[in-house]
Amino acid sequence: MLEVDSHKHLKKYYQNNLVLWPHNLTLTRLISRSLSRKDNTFIQLSSDSRNFWWPGLLIPLCLYNNNIVLILSEKQRRQLFEVELPKLKSSRLSFDYVDGIDLTSLDKKIWVLSYQDLIVANEKGFLKNRQLIFPESEFMSNELRESMSIKITPKDWDDLIECHSSFKASIIEVHERLNRRLFSKSVSTDAVIRVDTGEIAFLKEILKNDLPLLMPWKRAFDTVDNEWVTWAKLDNQTLGWDWHFQPLLPLETITGLLSKNTLLMLANSGKSDSFFLDLSRKRISFTVKVMLGNTLDQEPIPLFVPKRQPLPNTSHFYRHILRQCQRLILGRIRTTIILVDDMQLRLQLTSELAGEFGLRIVHETTDIETNGVICCSCNWWIINQHKLPTPDQLIFPMIPLPTLESPWIAAKVEMLKHQGRNWFREFLLPETLVILHKSVAIIRGKDVRVAILDGRMRYRSWGKLIFDALEPWVTLERLLPY
C-alpha cells in the first residue's frame, strides 16, 4: 500500500515540479518497499541523478516515519532544509522530523542526524531497532573520519595543566620535548608533521588513573588502544601547533550498528571505491541491490585529454601544464576552475598565470570576476562549488591522487602494506575516483568541458579506470580559443 500511495503522491508532486530525472517513480517504489519490508537495500543511482532523486526518497518518508533515522552530510542538510522541504511544503506534503537526537519523539518522527550525531547516538545506544538511511553512502567513511577527528590546541594544554596541577612539570616536559622535535623538522611555515601514537600513550601513562574528563583530552586518550593516526599542524608565526587525531578505520566504529540495524543506502558513484570494499569485508550484505539509470542515456562530458602528454616526474611536465592552462584560459567568457591538490605546485601555477592574466587569476576565493580563474584544491572546490556560478571548464593539471604527504593517507598506506594488500588499487585509486566524481558531479549536463593534462591517463593501465569512472564523455581532440 505504501508503494501505491507514494507513487500517487510523487505524480501529484510533479504536477508542480519539472521532472528532471526519469527514474524517480521507480526509486520511490523501491524505497517504499524497503521501508515496509525492512529489507537491507542498496540502490545505485546513475550520475545524472544529481539532486533530482530527493523527492523519490522523501515522499515515502512523509507517509512512513516509523523508527527512521536519516543520516546526512552538511551539504545534504543544506539541500534538505533550504531546497527540498520548501518544495514538499508547497505540494502540501508533511515531512515529520526532528533535527538531531530526540528521545521524546520515540518512533513518531524521523531523526535527521549529522554524522557526529550518529556517532554519539550509537555510543549511547539510542539507535537500536531503527532503520538507517544513508544518501550518497559512498562517502560514509570520509564523513565518519572527519566527524571523529580530534584537535588539541595550545589552550587545551593549558586547561590540562590547570586541571592536573600535580602533574604540571611532567606535562610541560612532554609538551616542550614535542615542541622541540616538531619545529626541528619544520621545513615550511605551515608544516604538517606526523606524531607517533606512542606520545599520547606516554602522556596517558603519566596521568595514570587521574585521566581528565574534559574534552578533547578524554577523546584523545580513548584513541590509545585503537587504530588512529596523529599529526601536528605547525604555525611558525606563533610558534604554536595543533595536535590532530583521525581514525584509520572509521567504519569499524559503527560496524556493529550496521550489522544489527536495517539499512537503506543510496550511492551516486561506482562500487569500486574503498567504502564498498570495506563493507564487503565486514560481511554487511544487502537483500535488494538495484542499479537505476543508464550512463548511456546521460549527457556526456566534453573531455580533453591530449595524447602524448608528459608524465609528472619528467623535467618538462610543469612547462607543459602551464602552456596548456594558458591556452585553455584564453578567450573564455565564464569561470575556469584549475584543480591542483599539491599546494606548492598550485601556488607556483597561480603566480605564473597571474603574471599573464592579472586579476582574473585568484586563489581559493569565491570573490571573482565573470571570467575569473580560480586555482584551488579539489576539496576546496567540492565544499564551495554551490557558492559559485557554473564554470566554463574544469582543468586538472594532475590526476588528483591522494598525496602521501598527508599523515592520514601515509598511515593508511603503511597499514595496507603491512597487511600485504595492494594499497594503490585498494585505496589510492578508489579514493581518486571518489574525488573525481565529487568534483565533476555538479557540472554534468551543463556543457562544461573537463581537461586532464596528466600523461598517466594514457600511459598507465589504471588510466582506463579513470576514463570509465567519468563515463559518459565525448572526446575533444583539439581546442581552439573562442
Q: Which tens digits make up the pLDDT trace of 226-263?
A: 789 999 999 877 888 999 999 998 888 888 899 899 99
Asked whether the domain spanning 299-475 has the same topology as the one spanning 2-147+250-296, the reply is: yes
Per the DSSP assignment, residues forming a β-bridge with 244 are 151, 231
List, edge to edge, every strand of the sheet that includes 361-363.
Answer: 361-363, 373-376, 336-339, 393-396, 449-452, 301-304, 473-475
pLDDT of residue 333: 87
pLDDT of residue 272: 45
How far apart CA 284 and CA 255 sit, in angstroms, is: 8
pLDDT at 480 over 70: no
Residues 6+ apart with CB under 8 A from 434: 138, 139, 142, 269, 273, 274
pLDDT at 147 over 90: yes
Domain map (residue ranges) of the chain? 2-147+250-296, 148-247, 299-475
What interhelical angle do 343-357 and 317-329 show, nearest 10? 50
Q: Tell me, which fold does domain 299-475 have in CATH? A: Rossmann fold (3.40.50)
Structure-block grid coordinates of residue 443: 557540472
How far apart CA 281 and CA 271 sit, in angstroms, is: 14
Query: Which superfamily does CATH assign the domain made up of 2-147+250-296 to?
Result: P-loop containing nucleotide triphosphate hydrolases (3.40.50.300)
Q: Which pTM was predicted?
A: 0.86
* Contact yes or no for 257/132 (Cβ under 8 A): yes
Q: What is the pLDDT of residues 86-139, one digit of tens each?
A: 988 888 888 888 888 877 765 678 999 999 999 999 989 999 889 999 998 888
SS3 231: strand
- Which of 89-93, 192-196, 273-277, 335-339 is most confident? 335-339
* Contact yes or no for 417/423 (Cβ under 8 A): yes
Residue 281 vs residue 97, higher pLDDT? 97
Peptide bond into 430 cis (omega under 30): no
pLDDT at 213 over 90: no
